[in-house]
Amino acid sequence: GENVEQHPSTLSVQEGDSAVIKCTYSDSASNYFPWYKQELGKRPQLIIDIRSNVGEKKDQRIAVTLNKTAKHFSLHITETQPEDSAVYFCAASIGNFNKFYFGSGTKLNVKP
């Protein structure tokens, strides 16, 4: 089955700096890659997603890039703010099977 690896497990940045979180996947059939943000004790919230027919997608300070050849995708957060502090999860899906495979999460700490 699919295996998703996520790095780093923790990331600490200064407010205003950029943060990058990387994920790799193993199954070339995966075609949908969402990113979720989870605050302590809360539900994961979808923040951005990308499908395999595009290489990059941007939404204000958040962007995701996908390299299908290398089987990796990354989350980029620019101009980080303290409220960006949370755990971020990547996931991969083969679509038709409706199963998501999640990475282990990255705890982002933005220092004011």
Partner 1 sequence: DGGITQSPKYLFRKEGQNVTLSCEQNLNHDAMYWYRQDPGQGLRLIYYSQIVNDFQKGDIAEGYSVSREKKESFPLTVTSAQKNPTAFYLCASSSRRSGRLGNTDTQYFGPGTRLTVL
- Nearest approach in angstroms of CB 45 to partner 1 is 7
Q: Backbone dihedral region of 71: left (phi > 0), alpha (psi from -120 to 50 degrees) or beta?
A: left
Nearer to partner 1, 18 or 104 (CB): 104
Cβ atoms of residues 73 and 23 within 8 Å: yes
- Nearest approach in angstroms of CB 20 to partner 1 is 19
Rounded-to-10 torsion of CA 9, 20, 44, 57: -150
Residue 93 makes contact with partner 1 by CB under 8 A: yes
Q: Which residues contact partner 1 (rule: CB under 8 A)?
A: 6, 31-32, 34, 36, 41-46, 49, 51-53, 89, 93, 95-96, 98-100, 102-105
